[in-house]
Amino acid sequence: MFREKLLKNKIMWFAGAAVAVLLSGCSSDMSVSETELNAEVAKRLATNQPDIIQLSLEESTLNLDLLIKEANIDLTERDGGLVMVDMKTDIRGTLNVFGQEMTMKAQLDPSFESGLRIEEDRVYLVGAKLTQISVQGNSISDEMFRNTLGSLHGDFEKALADYFNTHPVYVLNHSMTEKAAARMVKNIVITDDSIEFMIF
């Protein structure tokens, strides 16, 4: 029994070492395609509902929840590599306008761009910068809501950045190759179709 366990451990160690040796021979031996990344994000959203980003201000003028329904990622080499994200969310909560508290509900579709970072085996979006926000089905005046969102641009952007800084969009655990590579990745390069993981 003990010998069998020892033999099994040795086999697993040698398999891991073999994968590590294979990976170490290349500067970029692994990548994740844009399609794979979007499939992973969709899977995570489907299994983590409701997935909420909270946006509240100390002045109590705003207390909103963004319920993430969909996120579509587009990878581009522009400006050294960017992750472009289009989201569909439901926004619900209260808004204080001219001293009057109003309950609101709308579909909010923000778009933003970001970079990437890897921490252990997890890939995160970093430095989210809002590029566009569209509002549909708002229960209060569109103009009033857009003006309020405009004044809260920085707070909204920070809420997005904080969320994606703690919620990975991809985890390198889908295969033995990914798991081995995760321990040796030194850098990430964004291309037009994929994320390249640089081993050296």
Which amino acid makes up residue 66? Answer: L
**pLDDT given for residue 186 in this prediction:** 81
Residue 198 above 70 pLDDT?
Answer: yes
The CATH number of whichever domain residue 62 belongs to comes to 3.15.10.40
Query: Rounded distance, CA 59 to CA 172, Å?
Result: 41
pLDDT (mean) for 68-89: 93
Q: What is the pLDDT of residues 39-61, one digit of tens each?
A: 999 998 888 877 888 777 655 56
Closest CA to 185 of 54, 177, 156, 193: 177
Q: Which residues contact 113 (CB under 8 A, 6 or more apart)?
A: 82, 83, 84, 85, 128, 129, 131
Query: How many other CB atoms are there within 10 angstroms of residue 86's CB atom?
Result: 16
The pTM is what? 0.76
Residue 138 above 70 pLDDT?
Answer: no
Confidence label for 105 from pLDDT (cuts 50, 70 and 90): confident
Q: Which residues contact 131 (CB under 8 A, 6 or more apart)?
A: 84, 111, 112, 113
Domain count, the chain: 1
Judge residue 64's burial from the number of C-beta atoms within 10 Å of its C-beta, 0-12 exposed, 13-18 middle, 19 or more buried. Answer: buried
Strand pairing of 100-119 and 82-97? antiparallel
Q: What is the pLDDT of residues 150-178, one digit of tens each?
A: 666 787 888 889 999 999 999 988 888 88
Query: Is-contact 68 52, C-beta < 8 A?
Result: yes
Domain that holds residue 65: 2-198
**pLDDT given for residue 153 in this prediction:** 74
Residue 68 above 60 pLDDT?
Answer: yes
